[in-house]
């Protein structure tokens, strides 16, 4: 579980500056110094991406390095706290889709500090987000298990080479499509590696 809101010292949740990686993250790819981000997609949004050429991402996202061990739908859903009233996700889901991309503008990724109302947001140093419960306001996902740093972004375009993956209950990951910014569409990968 994430630390309680009141137990998160301000200095442990620095805001990224300039082109620093989100929250001072170490590089995902040592050669390029790139931090890879991941967002869980609702099932109905996958078709919108693939068939409609949708290329925007917004909301709550996570560094791939922080969620790499959450490699099944159940682990990802529980670990990120995606089980709540009205959630489109269930720990019993056989598959889940995620989009991954390099953090091109790390300064746009902010830790979601705040609360469930004006008062609770106001007692958090640097608080700026108000969300419905179970939002912890601590900058961590409200899930079970080890604390997972969370970031909130406004709508931004995915860069060339962003990838959409399917994760299944057997901990198998398969690349579904990659985004071609020149063509402004997703290139679907066929079984066997052809695309």
Q: Report how far residue 162's alpha carbon sits from residue 55's, in angstroms, rounded to the nearest whole number.
A: 9
Q: Is the pLDDT of residue 29 over 60?
A: no
User: Which of 105, 104, 102, 122 lies closest to 113, judged by CA?
Assistant: 122
pLDDT tens digits for range 125-179:
999 999 888 888 999 999 888 999 999 999 999 999 999 999 999 999 999 999 9
pLDDT value at position 2?
A: 41
Q: Is the pLDDT of residue 194 over 80?
A: no
> pTM for the complete prediction?
0.79
Mean pLDDT of 64-79: 95
Given a contact cutoff of 8 angstroms between Cβ atoms, the answer to whether 49 and 186 are in contact is yes
Residue 57: φ, ψ to 5°: -140, 145
Model confidence band, residue 8 (pLDDT cutoffs 50, 70, 90): very low
């Amino acid at each position: 579980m994430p630390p309680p809101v009141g137990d998160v010292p301000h200095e442990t949740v620095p805001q990224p500056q300039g082109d620093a990686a989100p929250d001072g993250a170490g590089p995902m790819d040592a050669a390029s110094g790139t931090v890879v981000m991941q967002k869980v997609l609702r099932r109905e949004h996958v078709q919108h991406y693939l068939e409609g050429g949708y290329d925007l991402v917004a909301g709550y996202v996570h560094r791939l390095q922080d969620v790499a061990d959450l490699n099944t739908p159940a682990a990802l859903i529980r670990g990120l706290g995606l089980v709540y009233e009205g959630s489109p996700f269930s720990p019993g889901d056989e598959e889940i889709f995620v989009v991954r991309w390099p953090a091109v503008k790390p300064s746009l990724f902010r830790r979601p500090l705040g609360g469930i109302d004006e008062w609770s947001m106001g007692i958090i140093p640097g608080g700026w987000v108000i969300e419905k419960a179970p939002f912890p306001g601590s900058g961590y996902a409200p899930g079970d298990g080890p604390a997972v740093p969370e970031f909130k972004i406004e709508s931004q375009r995915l860069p060339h080479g962003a990838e959409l993956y399917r994760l299944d209950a057997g901990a198998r990951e398969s690349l579904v499509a990659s985004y071609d910014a020149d063509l402004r569409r997703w290139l679907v990968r066929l079984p066997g590696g052809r695309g």
